[in-house]
């Protein structure tokens, strides 16, 4: 279930927002002492943070700058200030949206739901770009490969080869099929497949755990790995 954090020193306003959101099926936690946020985000993950700007212990903008690197969720500012310069400061310090008080209940709900939907779509897109088998993770968008969270430096061709193997994990692939799919007929010769497979194994410290040799035919990247 979606859960957001409401940070506002005004108990009446924070309770009102919580009631409004609950009617929409959105659960919320309330913090009236903003410095408590620094501890809370270490133990609880939220889908969105609603952050008042004018608070006595620390301003919302200051708090945002302190937590922005530690939270990935959207941060929406609530403030009685409606000058453009105030909004610019909020955005510059990591805010994703800005709602002025007194706010319209419908607008508040719509903006919160919109940011949560966008975050979910982005997360789904990111997952589609990542292949993980065992402790090897390949990110097709950033062109990064990690083994046990340690980055492995690969050449462009080695990356393309590994991506093709992992996308077809569990399938025995002939050398000819690999060569045609990764290099194309107009580049080098089929012997380059074995050379690059060896390079991949060396860099991944594979020891024939991930890339299996199908003698007289080609190679297969395993579909599942037991890390234990």
| CATH value at residue 26 | 3.40.50.2300
Do 160 and 83 share a domain, yes or no?
no
Q: What is the pLDDT of residue 187?
A: 65
In a domain, 226, yes or no: no
**Spatial separation of the C-alpha atoms in residues 213 and 208, rounded to whole Å:** 8
Is pLDDT of 201 > 70?
yes
32: Cβ–Cβ under 8 A, 6 or more apart, which residues? Answer: 8, 9, 10, 11, 14
Quick one: which of 203, 109, 76 has its CA closest to 152? 203
Where b means 16+ CB within 10 Å and e means fewer, 112-134 reads: bbebbeebeeeeeeeeeeebebe
Do 11 and 39 share a domain, yes or no?
yes
* Residue whose entry in the numeric block shows the structure tokens 């959207």: 74
The residue range of the domain holding 171 is 130-221
* Domain final position from 85, 102, 128: 128
pLDDT in tens, 77-124: 998 877 788 788 888 888 899 998 888 999 999 999 999 988 887 776
Token pair recorded at residue 130 = 């990542």
Count Cβ atoms below 10 Å from residue 37 Cβ, excluding itself.
21
Quick one: which of 39, 108, 91, 96 has its CA closest to 70? 39
Q: What is the mean pLDDT of residues 3-32?
A: 94
Do 144 and 204 share a domain, yes or no?
yes
pLDDT in tens, 22-35: 999 999 999 999 99
Edge-to-edge strand order for the sheet containing 150-152?
A: 130-133, 136-139, 144-147, 150-152
Q: Tell me if the pTM is above 0.75.
A: no
Do 112 and 152 share a domain, yes or no?
no
Quick one: which of 190, 133, 215, 197 has its CA closest to 167? 133
Quick one: which of 85, 79, 41 has its CA closest to 60? 79
Residue 146, strand partner residues: 137, 151
Number of domains in the chain: 2
In a domain, 227, yes or no: no
Is pLDDT of 125 > 70?
no
User: Taking each helix axis from N to C terminus, what angle separates 191-204 and 156-167, rounded to the nearest 10 degrees?
Assistant: 90
pLDDT band at 169 (very low <50, low <70, confident <90, very high): very high
In a domain, 25, yes or no: yes
């Amino acid at each position: 279930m979606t859960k957001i954090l409401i940070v506002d020193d005004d108990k009446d306003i924070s309770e009102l927002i919580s009631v409004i959101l609950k009617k929409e099926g959105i659960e919320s936690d309330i913090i009236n002492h903003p410095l408590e946020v620094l501890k809370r985000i270490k133990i609880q993950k939220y889908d969105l943070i609603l952050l008042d700007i004018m608070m006595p212990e620390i301003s919302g903008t200051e708090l945002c700058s302190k937590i922005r690197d530690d939270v990935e969720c959207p941060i929406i500012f609530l403030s009685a200030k409606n000058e453009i310069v105030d909004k610019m400061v909020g955005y510059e310090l990591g805010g994703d949206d800005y709602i002025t008080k007194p706010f319209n209940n419908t607008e508040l709900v719509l903006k919160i739901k919109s940011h949560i939907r966008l975050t979910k779509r982005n997360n789904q897109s990111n997952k589609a770009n990542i292949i993980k088998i065992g402790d090897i993770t390949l990110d097709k968008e950033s062109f990064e490969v990690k083994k046990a969270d340690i980055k492995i430096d690969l050449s462009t061709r080695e990356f393309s080869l590994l991506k093709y193997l992992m996308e077809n994990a569990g399938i025995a692939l002939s050398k000819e099929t690999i060569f045609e799919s990764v290099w194309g007929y107009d580049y080098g010769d089929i012997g380059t497949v074995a050379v690059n497979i060896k390079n991949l194994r060396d860099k991944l410290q594979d020891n024939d755990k991930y890339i299996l040799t199908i003698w007289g035919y080609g190679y297969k990247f395993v579909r599942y790995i037991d890390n234990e």
